């Protein structure tokens, strides 16, 4: 293998990237656009849920309960009505996600030590939002109920009850429970999938479409030199974008980074080899740039988005889908990213995921090399 021929092929590919405005746009704009889009646009933290209130009693105690909802960061009382039809209209028109109804005998039942019920009407068109809203509502009402019980026992001259079991929760790795802390690191996997597989899927297909592959093969350049020379620029571009996106996540979005940079870049280099090998293989078997780009999108971006644990928990998926995720390289890389960023895990603790990426990289490199040689033959 000649170093000079390899550099010449790499230089030729860089010129192709520079002249191709679409590829250049993907290289320069897509990574930062995806970071900003997911960093600001995707938020799984449910706060300021709009609430409509129908207080049928209007007593001091009912207002105390409603003030707990007003003071909570999870709720936002947007409307107060005086009848059921108005409450229903507020929910039907998406003005409110929850309708709270305080009964007319609320304070009287509490005063006599009876159980008082508060009705919560929840819009469940989005089941995830509904489940969270119900949980937050039950928490606010439960805290208010505990305080009412303590006050009633004091008035009766009885001692305050002590709970037999108390939970002292301590949150590790994502202390503020912010979804952005685990979303932003996962965006790196999506960026590298786009830069690696999507762009390299066009390399060989473009040569065949333009009729320049025959001229390239007629030179002393070997198939291995062609493959390495064409992939080298994308490897460098991908690693540079990885560094830029990591810097944006750490300094712009304030995502904690507790691991080491060597662990991040070693794992990123392995994953980049995986997506480059897959993209090159798709480029070889694709008959056109359009077909190759579509195949790359289906084979890399969609699995990385849906089946990697980036947004959706793998443990909550059906058994069959969980089994399929084991052949998705992005699954292992997303696990590494979250462990390096949030847990501060070193290479020794990630050897299983790193080994999986290394096996994927070796298998896809051999597959791409064999397919390329076969097509040239």
Cα 54 from Cα 375, distance rounded (Å)? 72
pLDDT tens per residue, the chain (377 residues)? Answer: 677 777 888 888 888 777 777 777 777 788 888 888 888 877 777 888 999 999 998 888 889 989 999 888 889 999 999 898 999 999 999 899 999 999 888 888 887 777 888 899 999 888 878 888 898 999 898 888 888 777 766 766 666 666 667 677 788 888 777 888 888 888 888 888 877 787 787 777 777 777 666 666 667 777 777 788 888 888 988 888 889 999 999 999 889 999 889 999 999 999 999 998 888 888 888 767 777 778 888 888 888 888 888 888 888 889 999 999 999 999 999 999 999 999 988 888 899 999 999 999 999 888 888 877 656 55
Structure tokens at 312: 């959706």
Q: How far apart are CA 240 and CA 246, in angstroms?
A: 10
Q: What is the pTM of this model?
A: 0.80
Burial label, 205 (beta-carbon count in 10 A; 0-12, 13-18, 19+): buried
Domain edges within the chain: 3-42+179-376, 49-155
Q: Which tokens belong to 328? A: 């998705």
CATH number of 49-155: 3.40.1710.10
Whole-angstrom distance, CA of residue 228 vs CA of residue 235: 10
């Amino acid at each position: 293998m000649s170093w000079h021929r390899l550099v010449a092929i790499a230089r030729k590919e860089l010129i192709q990237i520079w002249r191709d405005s679409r590829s250049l746009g993907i290289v320069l704009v897509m990574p930062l656009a995806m970071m900003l889009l997911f960093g600001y646009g995707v938020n799984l933290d449910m706060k300021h849920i709009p609430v409509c209130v129908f207080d049928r009693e209007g007593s001091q105690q009912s207002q105390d309960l409603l003030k707990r909802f007003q003071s909570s960061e999870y709720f936002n009382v947007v409307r107060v009505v005086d009848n059921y039809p108005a409450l229903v209209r507020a929910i039907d028109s998406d003005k409110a996600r929850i309708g709270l109804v305080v009964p007319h005998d609320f304070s009287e039942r509490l005063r006599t030590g009876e159980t008082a019920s508060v009705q919560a009407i929840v819009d469940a068109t989005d089941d995830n939002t509904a489940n969270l809203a119900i949980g937050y509502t039950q928490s606010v009402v439960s805290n208010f109920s505990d305080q009412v019980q303590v006050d009633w026992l004091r008035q009766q001259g009885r001692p305050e009850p002590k709970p037999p079991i108390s939970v002292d929760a301590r949150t590790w790795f994502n202390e503020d429970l912010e979804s952005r802390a685990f979303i932003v690191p996962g965006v790196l996997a999506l960026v590298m999938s786009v830069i690696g597989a999507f762009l390299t899927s066009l390399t060989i297909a473009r040569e065949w479409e333009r009729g320049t592959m025959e001229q390239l093969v007629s030179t002393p350049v070997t198939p291995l030199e062609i493959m390495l020379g064409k992939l080298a620029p994308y490897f460098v571009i991908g690693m540079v974008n990885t560094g830029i996106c990591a810097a944006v996540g750490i300094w712009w979005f304030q995502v904690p980074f507790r691991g080491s940079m060597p662990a991040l870049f070693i794992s990123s280099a392995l994953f980049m080899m995986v997506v480059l090998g897959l993209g090159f293989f798709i480029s070889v078997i694709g008959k056109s740039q359009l077909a190759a780009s579509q195949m790359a999108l289906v084979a890399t971006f969609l699995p990385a988005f849906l089946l990697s644990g980036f947004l959706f928990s793998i443990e909550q998926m059906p058994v069959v889908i969980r089994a399929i995720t084991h052949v998705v390289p992005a699954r292992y890389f997303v696990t590494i990213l979250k462990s390096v960023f949030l847990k501060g895990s070193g290479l020794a603790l990630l050897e299983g995921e790193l080994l999986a990426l290394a096996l994927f990289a070796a298998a896809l490199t051999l597959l791409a090399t064999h397919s390329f040689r076969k097509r040239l033959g």
